[in-house]
Amino acid sequence: MNSNNKGVFRRIFRLSGKGGVIKLAFMVLLVIVQALSIAIGPAILGDALNIIVEGALNIEAARGGVDTPALIRVIIILCVLYIVGYLAKIVQEYMMSDFTANVVCNMRIRIANKMGRLPVGYYEKRALGDIMSTVTNDVDVIATGLQTIVSGLIYSVVLIVTILAIMLSLNLIMAGVVLLTLPISIFSMKGIVKRTGRAFYEQQVLTGEINGKIEEDISGFQVLKAYVREEDVIAEFDKSNEHLCKENSKSQFMGSMIDPIAMLIGNIGYIAVVIVGALLAIQGHLSVGSIQAFINYVNNFNQPVQNAAKMSTQIQMVVAATKRVFSFLDEEEEVVKDNLVREHEINGKVSFEDISFGYNPEKTIINDFSLEVCEGKQVAIVGPTGAGKSTIIKLLMRFYDVDSGRIMVDGMDIRELDRGLLRSGIGMVLQETWLFKGSILENIRFGRLDATREEVIEAAKLAEVDYFISTLPGGYDYELSEDGQNISSGQRQLITIARAILSNRPILILDEATSSVDTQTEHRIQRAMDNLMEGRTSFVIAHRLSTIRNADVILVLKDGDIVEQGTHSELLAKKGFYSELHNAQFEN
Amino acid sequence: MKLLLEVFKKNIKYVIPLILFTIVGIVFRLINTSFIGTVVNQVMAFTSDPNASETAGSVLSVIGLEMFGICAMISVMGIMSIFFASKLSAVTGRDLRKKLFTKIMSFSMKEIDSLSVSSLITLCTNDIVQIQNVVFIICTTALQVPFLVIGGITSMVANRSGLSWTVALASGLVIVILLVCVLRTLKIAGSYQGKIDAINSVTREGLTGTQVIRAFNRDTWNEERIIKASKEFRDINISFTRKMIVMEPSVYLVLNLVNLLATWLGAKRLEEGLINVGVISSYTSYLFMIVMGVLMFGLSAFSMIRMIVSLKRIRKIMDIEPAVSDGDLPKESIPERQSIEFKNVSFKYDEEGGYVIKNIDFTAECGKTTAIIGNTGCGKSTIMNLVSRLYDPDEGEILIGGIDARRYPVNELRNQIGYVTQKAVLFTGDIKSNIDFGTDCSDEAISEAAEIAQIKEFVDDNEEGYGYAIARGGTNVSGGQRQRLSIARAIAKNPKIYLFDDSFSALDYKTDAKLRKALKEKTKDATVLIVAQRVTSILDADRIIVMHNGIIVGQGTSSELLKSCEYYREILKSQVSEDEYEKMINNES
């Protein structure tokens, strides 16, 4: 284990919570007790056999029989030893399972906490499946690995050391014979373990690949079917599947080869012990019982060595998984300044002052954008895709920080404000609806956690979704499936609108909020929205120009610049880009 | 289980050598064990014979060589059986995965709707890995058990130690321990899996909802949800492992205590002159061999529980009959002109729910454009899905070119159709592979399709051109580009029927208008069915079908509908300004 790995394990232990070190120390103690009982056992059992052999020789020489009291004594000692070892093992395993479960639980809690503190940009850069795999699969690998590694490793080491000591005390030559097998063991194990590690890695990569393929194919099932692509897809799948099968079989074989090879080495030691032991016994340097003891020791000695070798594969996996988890935990967080303003009344006066921004330094999306919005005004933003409409919203929400210039909310630079405070002043509906597994009630209540059932229903009525909900079995208690897949996309949007209505914030953002809703329902919501937006500052992004006709100001964005600005009629009169966009809908 | 047997049968070339090598390996192991007794007796003989030292060396080296030979054989057999077991478990995984995936691909949308995407993925990967691992364990350990136990018992009886009953005692006790442990854990095994699912599900939601969670300042709420799930899992995990970890140490304790008992009894029998020391030595080996066999079997039984759960889950999928099946219409009989006719069609997505569309009657003629308009959830997309036979209607019939759609072989029918779905889906690859999408069309055809779909500019503007890489689901291009690419995909197919399901929603009006113009020329001989939200975009359609909550409330040209259909006027009114509305009404009259 190199120093890097040590650091990883130290961090794991830090996750074990209060008193973790003491518990760990106690566990180590128990492991030692248990290992000692296993180690001493054969020596004492050897004594028993010696007594019997002596007895046999006595009988042969007709000098009496087996020394029964001595035999009983040895057997009682052994009984006690076994039971002590057993209890130590059970208590230790109990503690270990608590320890592991706590470490993993705390790891998950850290991850959950971290999720809230990473900048939004992080999630846009990294593939969702990739992060998912870190916070679920990798944590699982750690959970299963930790349980066996910690106790297993200490156990093996203690066992090796104790057995070695006992063997040395019993007979130097014999101990030497057993020790000779050690270098062969280590040498051959090392080679296998290295190769196994590689094979396992390959296998994980391929599994991930095939996982991605299946996910993509099932997600795009409708299109695959419509274009009769099943055979191609299956053929492609077969290729990856065949490849995975090869790697599976290789890593499985490599991983398990350790057993027979270690057994062979163990057996070589065993034969050496028997032969050398017999020779020594004949010369009278060794008792038959000691041979038996050594036979047991050879096995007991090789087992921990084998186990340690096997475990090193597992350690590699745990270390790799832990590193991924920790690198997630170490990701740079949203910058939090010290003396942030935590109390500030947000009324909805927003101004953008010469802001510029680009997701990467080479490409500026927003150029010197300036705009002043008074309290209660409705601002609409239109323009072709990629013009930077959503970017402006993201800057206002402080998902990203501006490169230059500043955004002021009620006279305060938003970078001086606590993010939570800023965001709790803004209600938002996005085109991509996000609903979670839970009842419709809970999903709407997400907008304001302390809202009563009546308030939720009121908000749903305003969003024109109350009737639909009442037709569902269970009404507001109807359980939505993951991603809300069990209702139509228009209905999902209406629920998120109800959520925003309920949240009752001074600033409202609607980013293509009704794109999947039919125009009549939209019209009805519009009325509700108009009421809602009354007295609130709102930002509306829409393709359907009909929805923004009443906006106080319409901004026409093109390539990050405001090219036009004014009310609907002003812009139409201008006969510029906006009127082109507008008239395009009547061209045919 | 039947599934597994089928796979084994198919891969019998791995099964037979596996069994052979296992048996031979065990024979060698038994020989090896009986040797211990021989050696001990030999040593005893030498010790009691003062003149033995001279001969001892040569005798012992012969024994040593013999033992080495046997041990080497054991390991070689071991490696061979591991080799075949690895192969067998890997091909088992491969074959099951293939079966499952092929089955999933044979489903219609109806089946896919009823299964969640994430559960299917779990099945194809996690569950199969589970089965694969257990197959390996069974092949390498459980398979030995019967031979090991039989061999052990036979040798032990032959050994005549008179102690065989203690082995039976030990085995009995071990079996009881195993049973108790298995039964105790079995009770919570089910909820254990459920808690893992719960954690994964809240974590996934926390990740997919980052923006919304931030926007509502609900990070703490999200954190607490995950913490709650994690803690619940921790608790069940602890009680699960606690129940399980008792097993192994208890088995060893029994083993050791029985061994002591046997040593004591052996000593007594020795005194009576019934057995010699070698027998006692061998006894221990046999005892461990047999009882360990039982233990191994128990452990495999443990893992088999999970395997059977997984197999059952797979079986459930394999047993689903796809709702849409091939018709027997011969390829030559497929008509050249493909009009679409709905005759009194009704459909519902699930048995308990209500009808999504009811008594739908309309005809979309060849060479004409037919548009469908209506409120959210009125069944517009459903009609599209029925035409392409992603579902079959519950009542009524759909005639394609005058022939019932159900009579077509599914794929032949779909080959006639270019379907642009409501959600634009792209696949990992590049622009070319996404437009071509299995049709093997020429570069010119692709370029033409891109031009019509107004995506050519984007293609020409980037350096890689058609080789521009598309990420999974097309996340690296904008919504508008995704839509245009999926339109290009339909055009490149050069189909007889075009289905556009609200396919222009992410386009600004200008691009939209240009696209439609270009499309019109291309599709003049085809049957075109368009679902739209904006009335203005379908004003010139040859026929407009107005739907409301699953039924048709009006059909005809726009001017006809303006006169006859109140609902159509309402929709129009909601979309254009009053002036424009007045203008249109006046134009008609």
Listed by number, the residues of chain B in 187-206 with a beta carbon closer than 8 Å to a beta carbon of chain A are 196, 199-206
Do B376 and A521 lie within an 8 Å CB cutoff?
yes
Query: Do A400 and A358 touch, CB atoms closer than 8 A?
Result: no
In percent, the amount of chain B with pLDDT more than 90 equals 20
Q: Which of A342-351, B99-108, B226-235 has the lowest mean pLDDT?
A: A342-351
Which residues on chain A are in Cβ contact (under 8 Å) with B114?
Answer: none
CB–CB of A244 and B140 under 8 A? Answer: no
Q: Residue B202: CB partners within 8 Å, gap ≥ 6? A: A436, B225, B226, B229
Single-letter amino acid code for the residue at A8: V
Mean pLDDT of B9-17: 88
The whole-angstrom distance between A2's CA and the closest CA on chain B is: 31
Q: Locate the chain B residue with the closest alpha carbon to A214.
A: B121
Which structure tokens are listed for B573? 């009114």
Structure tokens of A372?
């002043």
CA dihedral sign of residues A289, A291, A292, A293:
positive
Distances (CA, A) of B532 to A172, A519, B69, B125: 91, 11, 81, 40
Q: What is the ipTM of this complex?
A: 0.79
Contacts of B474 in chain A (CB under 8 A): none
Q: Do A519 and B534 touch (CB under 8 A)?
A: yes
Q: What is the CA radius of gyration of chain A?
A: 36
User: Which residues in B lie closer than 8 A to residue A252 (C-beta atoms)?
Assistant: 85-86, 89-90, 136
Q: What is the pLDDT of residue A280?
A: 81
Beta carbons of A300 and A164 less than 8 angstroms apart: no
More confident residue, A69 or B98: B98
Please check whether residue B271 touches A, CB under 8 A: yes
Q: Which residue of A94, A123, A420 is in closest CB contact with B210?
A: A123
Which residues on chain B are in Cβ contact (under 8 Å) with A65?
271
Q: Rounded to the nearest 5°, which phi and psi values hold at A430? A: -105, 160
Pairing of strands A412-413, A426-429: unpaired
How far apart are alpha carbons B151 and B168 in whole angstroms? 14
Q: How high does pLDDT run on average in chain B?
A: 83
Q: Select the more confidently predicted residue: B234 or B122.
A: B234
Contacts (Cβ under 8 Å, ≥6 apart) of A473? none
Please tell me the predicted confidence (pLDDT) of residue A1: 41
Q: In B, which residues are within 8 Å of A515 by CB distance? A: 505-506
Of B254, B213, B7, B27, which is closest to residue A423 (Cα–Cα)?
B213
Q: Which long-range contacts (CB under 8 A, 24 or more apart) does A467-471 make?
A: A468/A494, A468/B377, A469/A440
The pair phi, psi for residue A373, each rounded to 5°, is -120, 120
Phi then psi dihedrals of residue B266, to 5 deg: -60, -45
CB B307 within 8 A of CB B128: no
Q: Which of B200, B242, B271 sits opposite A55 (nearest CB)?
A: B271
Classify residue B221 as exposed, middle or buried by CB count within 10 Å of its CB (0-12, 13-18, 19+).
middle
How confident is residue B489, by pLDDT bands cut at 50, 70 and 90?
very high
Task: Say if residue B515's pLDDT is above 70.
Answer: yes
How many residue pairs from chains A and B have C-beta atoms closer than 8 A? 468
Residues from chain B that touch A384, judged by Cβ atoms under 8 A, are 480, 508, 510-511
Taking phi over 0 as left and psi of -120 to 50 as alpha, with beta for the rest, B429 belongs to left
Instruction: Give the pLDDT confidence score for residue A128 in this predicted structure.
Output: 63
Q: What is the pLDDT of residue A485?
A: 66
Compute CA distances B456 → B435, B484, B519, B522, whole Å.
12, 10, 14, 16
Give the side-chain half-sphere CA count within 13 A for B261: 16
Query: Minimal CA–CA distance to A85: which of A49, A40, A47?
Result: A40
**pLDDT recorded at residue A125:** 66
Given a cut of 90, whether residue B544 has pLDDT beyond it is yes
Give the pLDDT score at B383: 92
From chain B, the residues in CB contact with A426 under 8 A are 215
Residues 6+ apart with CB under 8 A from A583: B509
Percent pLDDT > 70 in chain B is: 94
Residues 138-157 of B with CB under 8 A from A: 140
The answer to whether the CB atoms of B121 and A481 lie below 8 A apart is: no
Burial of B529 (0-12, 13-18, 19+ CB in 10 A): buried
Report pLDDT for A454: 94
DSSP string, B399-445: EETTEEGGGS-HHHHHHTEEEE-SS----SEEHHHHHHTTS---HHH
Q: What is the pLDDT of residues B25-43, one digit of tens each?
A: 888 887 877 776 677 677 6
Helices (H) and strands (E) in chain B, counts: 22, 12
B331-369 per-position pLDDT tens digit? 888 888 889 999 999 998 766 667 888 999 999 999 999
Which chain A residue has the Cα nearest residue B56? Answer: A279
A481 neighbors B113 (Cβ within 8 angstroms): no
The whole-number pLDDT of residue B419 equals 92
Whether the CB of B242 is below 8 Å from some CB of chain A: the reply is yes
| pLDDT < 50: residue spans in chain A | 1-3, 588
